[in-house]
Chains A and B, each alone.
Chain A
Protein backbone atom coordinates (compact mmCIF):
# COMPACT_ATOMS: atom_id res chain seq x y z
CA UNK A 1 0.00 0.00 0.00
CA UNK A 2 1.00 3.58 -0.57
CA UNK A 3 0.08 6.45 1.75
CA UNK A 4 -1.52 9.41 0.03
CA UNK A 5 -1.99 12.87 1.52
CA UNK A 6 -5.15 14.81 0.72
CA UNK A 7 -5.22 18.56 1.25
CA UNK A 8 -8.24 20.88 1.34
CA UNK A 9 -7.66 23.93 -0.85
CA UNK A 10 -9.89 26.78 -1.90
CA UNK A 11 -10.39 27.22 -5.61
CA UNK A 12 -8.50 30.48 -6.04
CA UNK A 13 -5.21 31.66 -7.56
CA UNK A 14 -2.14 30.44 -5.72
CA UNK A 15 -3.80 27.99 -3.36
CA UNK A 16 -2.07 24.92 -4.81
CA UNK A 17 1.20 26.78 -5.00
CA UNK A 18 0.99 27.41 -1.25
CA UNK A 19 0.89 23.65 -0.69
CA UNK A 20 3.85 22.95 -2.97
CA UNK A 21 5.80 25.81 -1.37
CA UNK A 22 5.42 24.25 2.06
CA UNK A 23 6.57 20.88 0.72
CA UNK A 24 9.50 22.42 -1.13
CA UNK A 25 10.67 24.24 1.97
CA UNK A 26 10.46 20.96 3.91
CA UNK A 27 12.56 19.26 1.19
CA UNK A 28 9.84 16.80 0.37
CA UNK A 29 9.71 15.16 -3.02
CA UNK A 30 6.35 14.91 -4.76
CA UNK A 31 5.97 11.61 -6.61
CA UNK A 32 2.45 11.94 -7.91
CA UNK A 33 -0.28 14.54 -7.83
CA UNK A 34 -3.90 14.88 -8.80
CA UNK A 35 -6.60 17.38 -8.02
CA UNK A 36 -10.33 17.30 -7.80
CA UNK A 37 -12.14 20.57 -8.12
CA UNK A 38 -15.53 22.12 -7.50
CA UNK A 39 -16.29 25.78 -8.24
CA UNK A 40 -15.33 26.77 -4.70
CA UNK A 41 -12.88 24.30 -3.31
CA UNK A 42 -10.75 21.38 -4.31
CA UNK A 43 -8.87 18.45 -2.91
CA UNK A 44 -5.23 17.95 -3.80
CA UNK A 45 -4.01 14.39 -3.55
CA UNK A 46 -0.30 13.75 -3.33
CA UNK A 47 2.09 10.85 -3.03
CA UNK A 48 5.37 12.01 -1.52
CA UNK A 49 8.61 10.46 -0.36
CA UNK A 50 7.99 11.19 3.35
CA UNK A 51 4.26 11.25 4.04
CA UNK A 52 4.46 11.64 7.83
CA UNK A 53 6.78 14.63 7.62
CA UNK A 54 4.78 16.14 4.77
CA UNK A 55 1.60 15.96 6.84
CA UNK A 56 3.35 17.54 9.79
CA UNK A 57 4.68 20.45 7.71
CA UNK A 58 1.33 21.06 6.08
CA UNK A 59 -0.54 20.94 9.40
CA UNK A 60 1.92 23.34 10.98
CA UNK A 61 1.26 25.72 8.12
CA UNK A 62 -2.47 25.63 8.71
CA UNK A 63 -3.58 23.16 6.06
CA UNK A 64 -6.20 20.55 6.69
CA UNK A 65 -4.92 17.17 5.58
CA UNK A 66 -5.83 13.54 5.70
CA UNK A 67 -3.65 10.48 5.04
CA UNK A 68 -5.25 7.52 3.35
CA UNK A 69 -4.16 4.36 1.58
CA UNK A 70 -4.05 3.92 -2.17
CA UNK A 71 -2.83 1.04 -4.23
CA UNK A 72 0.10 1.33 -6.64
CA UNK A 73 0.42 -0.74 -9.79
CA UNK A 74 3.41 -0.88 -12.11
CA UNK A 75 2.60 -0.95 -15.79
CA UNK A 76 4.71 -1.40 -18.88
CA UNK A 77 4.72 1.73 -21.01
CA UNK A 78 2.84 0.09 -23.85
CA UNK A 79 -0.48 0.67 -25.56
CA UNK A 80 -3.43 -1.03 -23.89
CA UNK A 81 -1.79 -1.78 -20.55
CA UNK A 82 -3.96 0.61 -18.52
CA UNK A 83 -7.00 -0.78 -20.25
CA UNK A 84 -5.93 -4.28 -19.36
CA UNK A 85 -5.42 -3.43 -15.70
CA UNK A 86 -8.82 -1.74 -15.48
CA UNK A 87 -10.38 -4.78 -17.17
CA UNK A 88 -8.90 -7.05 -14.51
CA UNK A 89 -10.42 -4.87 -11.81
CA UNK A 90 -13.75 -4.65 -13.66
CA UNK A 91 -13.92 -8.38 -14.09
CA UNK A 92 -13.20 -8.74 -10.39
CA UNK A 93 -16.11 -6.34 -9.63
CA UNK A 94 -13.74 -3.83 -8.04
CA UNK A 95 -14.97 -0.24 -8.02
CA UNK A 96 -12.22 2.32 -8.67
CA UNK A 97 -13.03 5.63 -6.95
CA UNK A 98 -10.24 7.52 -8.63
CA UNK A 99 -6.96 6.89 -10.38
CA UNK A 100 -3.93 8.97 -11.27
CA UNK A 101 -0.43 8.39 -12.49
CA UNK A 102 3.05 9.05 -11.25
CA UNK A 103 5.37 11.70 -12.44
CA UNK A 104 7.72 10.06 -15.02
CA UNK A 105 10.39 8.15 -13.19
CA UNK A 106 13.70 8.06 -14.99
CA UNK A 107 14.46 4.58 -16.26
CA UNK A 108 11.57 3.01 -14.39
CA UNK A 109 8.20 1.68 -15.46
CA UNK A 110 5.16 3.99 -15.03
CA UNK A 111 3.02 3.61 -11.93
CA UNK A 112 -0.69 4.21 -11.56
CA UNK A 113 -2.28 4.73 -8.15
CA UNK A 114 -5.94 4.19 -7.47
CA UNK A 115 -8.40 4.22 -4.61
CA UNK A 116 -11.05 1.59 -4.01
CA UNK A 117 -13.37 0.51 -1.23
CA UNK A 118 -12.03 -3.04 -1.26
CA UNK A 119 -8.25 -3.11 -1.25
CA UNK A 120 -8.00 -6.75 -0.26
CA UNK A 121 -9.98 -8.02 -3.20
CA UNK A 122 -8.27 -5.60 -5.57
CA UNK A 123 -4.88 -6.89 -4.47
CA UNK A 124 -6.00 -10.44 -5.00
CA UNK A 125 -7.36 -10.02 -8.53
CA UNK A 126 -4.32 -8.04 -9.62
CA UNK A 127 -1.87 -10.51 -8.11
CA UNK A 128 -3.77 -13.41 -9.69
CA UNK A 129 -3.39 -11.68 -13.05
CA UNK A 130 0.38 -11.22 -12.47
CA UNK A 131 0.16 -7.42 -12.31
CA UNK A 132 3.03 -5.96 -10.29
CA UNK A 133 1.92 -4.00 -7.24
CA UNK A 134 4.21 -1.27 -5.99
CA UNK A 135 4.86 -0.68 -2.29
CA UNK A 136 5.85 2.61 -0.70
CA UNK A 137 9.48 1.63 -0.15
CA UNK A 138 9.95 0.87 -3.84
CA UNK A 139 9.08 4.39 -4.93
Chain B
Protein backbone atom coordinates (compact mmCIF):
# COMPACT_ATOMS: atom_id res chain seq x y z
CA UNK B 1 0.00 0.00 0.00
CA UNK B 2 2.65 2.48 -0.84
CA UNK B 3 2.05 5.61 -2.80
CA UNK B 4 3.32 8.19 -0.37
CA UNK B 5 6.62 9.05 -1.92
CA UNK B 6 7.83 12.22 -0.34
CA UNK B 7 9.84 13.05 -3.43
CA UNK B 8 7.99 14.40 -6.41
CA UNK B 9 8.82 14.65 -10.04
CA UNK B 10 11.38 17.43 -10.22
CA UNK B 11 13.46 15.90 -7.46
CA UNK B 12 13.82 12.58 -9.29
CA UNK B 13 16.46 13.75 -11.77
CA UNK B 14 20.02 13.84 -10.52
CA UNK B 15 21.89 16.29 -12.73
CA UNK B 16 25.06 14.93 -14.26
CA UNK B 17 26.84 14.14 -17.50
CA UNK B 18 27.69 10.48 -17.11
CA UNK B 19 27.60 7.98 -19.93
CA UNK B 20 24.24 6.77 -18.64
CA UNK B 21 22.90 10.34 -18.67
CA UNK B 22 23.90 10.77 -22.30
CA UNK B 23 22.04 7.73 -23.67
CA UNK B 24 19.01 8.70 -25.77
CA UNK B 25 15.83 8.27 -23.75
CA UNK B 26 14.12 5.81 -26.12
CA UNK B 27 17.20 3.55 -26.12
CA UNK B 28 17.43 3.75 -22.33
CA UNK B 29 13.73 2.88 -21.94
CA UNK B 30 14.00 -0.19 -24.16
CA UNK B 31 17.23 -1.36 -22.51
CA UNK B 32 15.76 -0.98 -19.02
CA UNK B 33 12.63 -2.92 -19.98
CA UNK B 34 14.72 -5.64 -21.64
CA UNK B 35 16.96 -6.11 -18.59
CA UNK B 36 13.98 -6.29 -16.23
CA UNK B 37 12.19 -8.80 -18.48
CA UNK B 38 15.28 -11.01 -18.71
CA UNK B 39 15.56 -10.86 -14.91
CA UNK B 40 11.89 -11.69 -14.40
CA UNK B 41 11.93 -14.80 -16.62
CA UNK B 42 15.14 -16.21 -15.14
CA UNK B 43 14.45 -19.33 -13.04
CA UNK B 44 15.16 -18.55 -9.40
CA UNK B 45 17.66 -21.38 -8.97
CA UNK B 46 20.10 -19.73 -11.42
CA UNK B 47 22.05 -18.01 -8.67
CA UNK B 48 25.07 -17.41 -10.91
CA UNK B 49 22.97 -15.62 -13.52
CA UNK B 50 21.42 -13.41 -10.85
CA UNK B 51 24.86 -12.56 -9.46
CA UNK B 52 25.90 -11.40 -12.92
CA UNK B 53 22.73 -9.27 -13.22
CA UNK B 54 23.26 -7.71 -9.80
CA UNK B 55 26.94 -6.93 -10.43
CA UNK B 56 26.09 -5.46 -13.83
CA UNK B 57 23.24 -3.37 -12.36
CA UNK B 58 25.48 -2.04 -9.60
CA UNK B 59 28.10 -1.15 -12.22
CA UNK B 60 25.44 0.83 -14.08
CA UNK B 61 24.47 2.59 -10.84
CA UNK B 62 28.14 3.43 -10.22
CA UNK B 63 28.60 4.67 -13.80
CA UNK B 64 25.53 6.92 -13.52
CA UNK B 65 26.99 8.75 -10.54
CA UNK B 66 23.69 8.85 -8.63
CA UNK B 67 25.48 8.24 -5.35
CA UNK B 68 25.07 5.16 -3.19
CA UNK B 69 23.08 6.86 -0.41
CA UNK B 70 20.57 8.37 -2.80
CA UNK B 71 20.24 5.05 -4.63
CA UNK B 72 19.66 3.08 -1.43
CA UNK B 73 17.17 5.64 -0.14
CA UNK B 74 15.11 5.31 -3.32
CA UNK B 75 15.37 1.54 -3.15
CA UNK B 76 13.32 1.61 0.07
CA UNK B 77 10.13 1.70 -2.05
CA UNK B 78 10.26 -2.08 -2.18
CA UNK B 79 10.50 -2.48 1.62
CA UNK B 80 6.84 -3.52 2.17
CA UNK B 81 7.34 -6.40 -0.22
CA UNK B 82 10.66 -7.34 1.35
CA UNK B 83 8.82 -7.65 4.65
CA UNK B 84 6.26 -9.89 2.97
CA UNK B 85 9.09 -11.95 1.42
CA UNK B 86 10.67 -12.51 4.83
CA UNK B 87 7.41 -13.98 6.13
CA UNK B 88 7.18 -16.65 3.39
CA UNK B 89 9.79 -19.11 4.79
CA UNK B 90 7.85 -19.19 8.07
CA UNK B 91 4.40 -19.74 6.62
CA UNK B 92 5.37 -21.70 3.50
CA UNK B 93 4.66 -25.40 3.21
CA UNK B 94 6.75 -28.31 1.94
CA UNK B 95 10.14 -29.56 3.06
CA UNK B 96 11.48 -27.88 6.20
CA UNK B 97 14.99 -26.81 7.03
CA UNK B 98 16.04 -26.43 10.65
CA UNK B 99 17.88 -23.18 11.26
CA UNK B 100 18.73 -22.47 14.89
CA UNK B 101 15.69 -24.36 16.09
CA UNK B 102 13.26 -22.65 13.71
CA UNK B 103 11.71 -24.71 10.94
CA UNK B 104 11.94 -22.81 7.64
CA UNK B 105 10.34 -23.94 4.43
CA UNK B 106 13.02 -24.68 1.82
CA UNK B 107 10.67 -23.71 -0.97
CA UNK B 108 9.76 -20.59 0.97
CA UNK B 109 13.40 -19.55 1.23
CA UNK B 110 13.73 -19.90 -2.56
CA UNK B 111 10.55 -17.86 -3.03
CA UNK B 112 11.91 -15.17 -0.71
CA UNK B 113 15.16 -14.98 -2.67
CA UNK B 114 13.21 -14.88 -5.93
CA UNK B 115 11.08 -11.89 -4.88
CA UNK B 116 13.99 -10.04 -3.26
CA UNK B 117 16.39 -10.28 -6.18
CA UNK B 118 13.84 -9.61 -8.93
CA UNK B 119 12.21 -6.70 -7.09
CA UNK B 120 15.59 -5.14 -6.32
CA UNK B 121 16.77 -5.55 -9.91
CA UNK B 122 13.59 -4.04 -11.33
CA UNK B 123 13.57 -1.14 -8.88
CA UNK B 124 17.25 -0.44 -9.58
CA UNK B 125 16.55 -0.11 -13.29
CA UNK B 126 13.63 2.30 -12.71
CA UNK B 127 15.75 4.34 -10.32
CA UNK B 128 18.61 4.62 -12.81
CA UNK B 129 16.15 5.56 -15.57
CA UNK B 130 14.41 8.33 -13.64
CA UNK B 131 17.59 9.63 -12.00
CA UNK B 132 19.52 10.04 -15.25
CA UNK B 133 16.77 11.16 -17.64
CA UNK B 134 14.97 14.50 -17.36
CA UNK B 135 11.22 13.92 -17.47
CA UNK B 136 10.74 15.86 -20.71
CA UNK B 137 13.33 13.68 -22.44
CA UNK B 138 11.58 10.60 -21.16
CA UNK B 139 8.35 11.85 -22.76
CA UNK B 140 10.21 12.45 -26.05
CA UNK B 141 11.48 8.87 -25.76
CA UNK B 142 7.96 7.50 -25.25
CA UNK B 143 6.74 9.42 -28.32
CA UNK B 144 9.56 8.06 -30.44
CA UNK B 145 8.72 4.56 -29.28
CA UNK B 146 5.25 5.17 -30.76
CA UNK B 147 3.37 5.19 -27.49
CA UNK B 148 -0.02 6.76 -28.43
CA UNK B 149 0.21 10.57 -28.45
CA UNK B 150 -2.89 10.90 -26.30
CA UNK B 151 -1.32 8.77 -23.57
CA UNK B 152 1.97 10.69 -23.67
CA UNK B 153 0.04 13.96 -23.54
CA UNK B 154 -1.93 12.84 -20.47
CA UNK B 155 1.27 11.66 -18.77
CA UNK B 156 3.00 14.94 -19.52
CA UNK B 157 0.12 16.98 -18.07
CA UNK B 158 0.13 14.76 -15.02
CA UNK B 159 3.86 15.22 -14.45
CA UNK B 160 3.57 18.95 -15.07
CA UNK B 161 0.87 19.37 -12.42
CA UNK B 162 1.88 16.87 -9.74
CA UNK B 163 4.18 19.35 -8.05
CA UNK B 164 1.61 22.13 -8.34
CA UNK B 165 -1.07 20.00 -6.70
CA UNK B 166 1.24 18.63 -4.03
CA UNK B 167 2.24 22.18 -3.09
CA UNK B 168 -1.40 23.25 -3.06
CA UNK B 169 -2.15 20.29 -0.80
CA UNK B 170 0.73 21.31 1.47
CA UNK B 171 -0.67 24.83 1.74
CA UNK B 172 -4.13 23.49 2.63
CA UNK B 173 -2.52 21.21 5.20
CA UNK B 174 -0.52 24.01 6.79
CA UNK B 175 -3.51 26.28 7.11
CA UNK B 176 -5.48 23.44 8.72
CA UNK B 177 -2.69 22.79 11.20
CA UNK B 178 -2.50 26.52 11.88
CA UNK B 179 -6.16 26.36 12.88
CA UNK B 180 -5.41 23.59 15.37
CA UNK B 181 -6.27 20.52 13.26
CA UNK B 182 -4.56 17.43 14.68
CA UNK B 183 -6.49 14.26 13.74
CA UNK B 184 -5.77 10.95 15.42
CA UNK B 185 -8.80 8.80 14.62
CA UNK B 186 -10.70 7.83 11.52
CA UNK B 187 -13.84 9.78 12.54
CA UNK B 188 -11.78 12.97 12.65
CA UNK B 189 -10.99 12.54 8.99
CA UNK B 190 -13.67 14.77 7.54
CA UNK B 191 -11.72 18.03 7.15
CA UNK B 192 -8.85 16.26 5.34
CA UNK B 193 -11.22 14.47 2.98
CA UNK B 194 -13.14 17.66 2.33
CA UNK B 195 -9.89 19.40 1.47
CA UNK B 196 -9.14 16.54 -0.95
CA UNK B 197 -12.56 17.17 -2.52
CA UNK B 198 -11.78 20.86 -2.76
CA UNK B 199 -8.45 19.94 -4.34
CA UNK B 200 -10.28 17.93 -7.00
CA UNK B 201 -12.56 20.85 -7.87
CA UNK B 202 -9.57 23.20 -8.04
CA UNK B 203 -7.63 20.67 -10.15
CA UNK B 204 -10.53 20.26 -12.56
CA UNK B 205 -10.97 24.00 -12.89
CA UNK B 206 -7.24 24.31 -13.43
CA UNK B 207 -7.56 21.72 -16.19
CA UNK B 208 -10.30 23.81 -17.81
CA UNK B 209 -8.19 26.97 -17.62
CA UNK B 210 -5.18 25.15 -19.05
CA UNK B 211 -7.34 23.93 -21.93
CA UNK B 212 -8.55 27.44 -22.65
CA UNK B 213 -4.98 28.73 -22.55
CA UNK B 214 -4.02 26.00 -25.00
CA UNK B 215 -6.90 26.94 -27.32
CA UNK B 216 -5.76 30.55 -27.19
CA UNK B 217 -2.36 29.40 -28.39
CA UNK B 218 -3.78 27.51 -31.35
CA UNK B 219 -4.30 24.01 -29.92
CA UNK B 220 -6.40 21.97 -32.34
CA UNK B 221 -6.80 18.71 -30.44
CA UNK B 222 -3.43 17.27 -31.39
CA UNK B 223 -0.27 17.89 -29.43
CA UNK B 224 2.50 19.27 -31.64
CA UNK B 225 5.03 16.64 -32.65
CA UNK B 226 8.07 16.73 -30.44
CA UNK B 227 10.88 16.91 -32.91
CA UNK B 228 14.28 15.77 -31.87
CA UNK B 229 16.96 13.76 -33.58
CA UNK B 230 16.55 10.03 -33.28
CA UNK B 231 19.13 7.77 -31.70
CA UNK B 232 21.69 6.38 -34.15
CA UNK B 233 21.98 2.68 -34.95
CA UNK B 234 25.42 2.67 -33.33
CA UNK B 235 23.99 3.95 -30.08
CA UNK B 236 21.26 1.30 -30.13
CA UNK B 237 23.87 -1.43 -30.64
CA UNK B 238 26.22 -0.07 -27.97
CA UNK B 239 23.50 0.21 -25.30
CA UNK B 240 21.67 -3.01 -26.13
CA UNK B 241 24.89 -4.90 -25.39
CA UNK B 242 23.87 -4.70 -21.72
CA UNK B 243 20.52 -6.56 -21.96
CA UNK B 244 22.09 -8.84 -24.59
CA UNK B 245 24.80 -9.90 -22.15
CA UNK B 246 22.14 -10.56 -19.49
CA UNK B 247 20.18 -12.62 -22.01
CA UNK B 248 23.35 -14.52 -22.98
CA UNK B 249 24.03 -15.33 -19.33
CA UNK B 250 20.45 -16.57 -18.98
CA UNK B 251 20.83 -18.80 -22.06
CA UNK B 252 24.14 -20.20 -20.78
CA UNK B 253 22.62 -20.89 -17.38
CA UNK B 254 19.45 -22.57 -18.66
CA UNK B 255 20.94 -24.67 -21.45
Chains A and B come from one and the same complex: no
Interface residues of A (CB under 8 A from B): none
Interface residues of B (CB under 8 A from A): none
